[in-house]
Amino acid sequence: MTEMNKKMLDEAKRVREFAYAPYSNFAVGAAVLGGSGEVYGGCNVENASFSVTNCAECTAIYNAISAGEKELIALAVVAEGEAPVTPCGACRQILAEFHIQYILMANLAGDVKEMTLEELLPGAFSAENIN
Q: pTM of the prediction? A: 0.94
Residues of the chain above pLDDT 90, percent: 92
Catalytic residue from among 57, 114, 119, 128 = 57
- Annotated catalytic residue 82: no
User: Mean pLDDT in the chain?
Assistant: 96
pLDDT digits (tens, 9 = 90+) for 71-118: 999 999 999 999 999 999 999 999 999 999 999 999 999 999 999 999
Total structural domains in the chain? 1
Q: How many Cβ atoms from other residues are within 10 Å of residue 6's Cβ? A: 12
Q: How far is CA 35 from the centre of its chain?
A: 16
Write out the residue range of the structural domain in which residue 47 sits.
3-129
Alpha helices in the chain (DSSP H): 3-16, 56-66, 89-97, 117-120
CATH label of the domain that carries residue 7: 3.40.140.10
Q: Which residues contact 68 (CB under 8 A, 6 or more apart)?
A: none
